[in-house]
Amino acid sequence: MALRIIVHEPDPVLHQIAKEVPKITPNIHKLLNDMADTMYHAEGVGLAAPQIGILKRVIVVDVGDEHGLIEMINPVILEKEGEQLGPEGCLSIPGLNGDVRRHQKVKVKGLDRNGNEFTLEATDFLARAFQHEIDHLNGVLFTEIAERVYEVPRESRD
Ligand SMILES: [Zn+2]
């Protein structure tokens, strides 16, 4: 298990566009392993590589549903549908939440750790998590698109 350091706002790396992964190497496997370890350790539901300072299009998501851990390399949103407005936070922006409007359902495509393409249909909170993490790959933070940003109530902080 290897934990990486999560970078916080206003680190400029969070505002840059991440590069596609051209080839899956042992380094990418290590990156995926470390990202999952780091996400679980921080009790997050998703993590994008730029959040640990790596400008590669790699995300991990686990919202605690039946999908378990989802690793996706070069993720792309193929279809989007509907709308949901709900609260969101970010491991790179501790202490703040926001109400963010997202698509209610998305179909995403990407590569798994073996380089095989797969698609996944996500709804509700899982769809929100994917949109949030893919935004990170494009240098977009939830605070930039939220309808309202507010401090996390102290009693609900860890
Ligand atoms: Zn985030």
> Is 71 marked active-site?
no
Answer yes or no: is pLDDT of 44 > 70.
yes
Q: Where are the alpha helices (DSSP H) in 66-137?
A: 124-137
**Hey, what amino acid is at 154?**
R
Average pLDDT taken over every residue of the chain: 96
103 appears as a binding residue in the annotation: no
67 appears as a binding residue in the annotation: no
Residue 158: what pLDDT? Answer: 56
Share of the chain above pLDDT 90, in %: 95
Confidence of residue 30 (pLDDT cuts 50, 70, 90): very high
Each residue's pLDDT tens digit, 49-94: 999 999 999 999 999 999 999 999 999 999 999 999 999 999 999 9
Task: Measure the CA–CA gap between 129 and 20, rounded to whole angstroms.
Answer: 20
For residue 106, the CA-to-ligand 1 centroid distance in Å is 18
Catalytic residue among 20, 43, 66, 133: 133
Answer yes or no: is pLDDT of 157 > 70.
no
Confidence of residue 138 (pLDDT cuts 50, 70, 90): very high
Q: Which residues pair with 140 in a beta bridge?
A: none
Cα 95 to Cα 7, 63, 109: the distances in Å are 14, 20, 32
CA-closest candidate to residue 127, choices 56, 74, 79, 90: 79
The separation between CA 72 and the C-alpha centre of its own chain, rounded to angstroms, equals: 10
For residue 113, the CA-to-ligand 1 centroid distance in Å is 22
For residue 80, the CA-to-ligand 1 centroid distance in Å is 20
Q: What is the pTM of this model?
A: 0.96
Going through 8-94 in order, the beta strands assigned E by DSSP cover 46-48, 58-61, 70-81, 84-88
